[in-house]
Structure 1
């Protein structure tokens, strides 16, 4: 019995090693238990041979998602550099306006003439359309001899008897008169007034015009 078992075991091992041996050979050996085990092993092997081998596909390699490039921030536009405008000095403040300066161009009648020369005063008072006869008119810091408001004309009257002057004194006197009436003309013009010079004769007028032809000189035939 022991030899038979050993023979059956050896046959079983051979069958397991060579699956081509049919099942009936195991039954002939007479060992039912071992044959049953061998049969079960063969069935298992047959299943494995007959079953198609499942080939597992290699894991699919998915393409890496492309990373979208980060949106570029638009570069800030360069502002044009301002052109140099020279030294940055603070604005000059206007000078303080006093009450006197505010009214300096308003004509102010003066109830008398300066100088006390009767001929001079008569010629000034008789200027046609004189708005303030009998006195001077104060404008822009100066007493003028007369004012014609209708034409906004200020007057300076000269009644010197130049024929009695010697040439040297005459030249000095005429130069002095021209300098004086130029200054008065500028004061009148600064306040928007016209300016005229009144003289008694043509010789006086001609002598002044030789020194300054820009002066407006009138011969006062009313005095």
Structure 2
């Protein structure tokens, strides 16, 4: 770089004469030497030495080494796990309305209550279970299964009465099953005879029905 008084020469000339950066030559008018221009020219020279393949023959917007390195790095590809849904929270508790509450057996049918305690077997002997406002005859020991127990003398009913009983019971069982499943329980029905079981399944074969053999 050369500079001289503007009064003597009128124009001060600064030339960065290295052949590799001739394109970046800077001409300064007046006595002021612009340090920024010098630094940019030196950066350009260093960049050309480090990344000659990135240099274009025409003068234009300069690309900094940081930008270039970022462009040269391959972008990370999403892994298969990124597409997986999040794991469900552990130890999720049922809503308070779904917690089983032992309550005394309703009615005074001892044979029915004994069957309800013995067959599942009942987690709370001598007690019904209240779940979401609904009475169930038993909550099975060791597994989340709510039970409805029927000890009707179904086989002794007339055909007409059997049809009426089945229609009413299936409607009640569907309601109980919906409440149980909404609270995270399974639902089972116990009946005394195979004939009663088959009559219920003929009406709704999605019910889970077990023959208990209990009598009254």
1:107 and 2:100 matched: yes
Q: Is the 2:120–2:138 Cα contact (8 Å) retained in structure 1?
A: no
Q: Residue in 2 aligned with 1:117?
A: 109
- In structure 2, relative to structure 1, the CA distance for the partners of 1:108 and 1:159 (3 Å cut) is same
1:171 pairs with 2:163: yes
State the distance in 1 between where 2:139 and 2:180 align.
11
The verdict on how the C-alpha distance between 1:173 and 1:215 changes in structure 2, with shifts beyond 3 A counting, is same
TM-score in terms of structure 2 length? 0.54
Runs (5+) with no aligned partner, structure 2: 1-93
Segments ≥4 residues shifted beyond 3 Å: none
Query: Structure 1 residue 220 and structure 2 residue 208: aligned?
Result: no
Q: CA deviation at 1:128?
A: 3.8
Shift of residue 166, structure 1, vs aligned partner? 1.4
Summarize the Cα distance change of 1:186–1:216 in structure 2 as closer, same or farther, 3 Å threshold.
same
Change (3 A) 1:209 1:105: same
Partner SS for 1:133:
coil
Q: Is the aligned partner of 1:197 residue 2:189?
A: yes
Find out whether 1:140 has 2:148 as its counterpart: no
SS at match of 2:148: strand
What is the distance in 2 between the residues matched to 1:115 and 1:185? 22
Q: Which string of whole-angstrom CA distances, capped at 9 and with x for unpartnered residues, describes residues 138-179 of structure 1?
A: 001101000025210000001110122111111111100000
1:102 CA drift (Å): 4.5
User: Counterpart of 1:157?
Assistant: 149
**Matched residue of 1:104: which SS?**
helix
With over 3 angstroms needed to count, the CA separation of the structure-2 counterparts of 1:222 and 1:169, relative to structure 1, is closer
Distance 2:213 2:165 in 1: 22
Structure 1 residues without counterparts, runs of 5 or longer: 1-100
Q: State whether residues 127 and 146 of structure 1, in contact with CA within 8 Å, keep that contact through their aligned partners in structure 2.
A: no
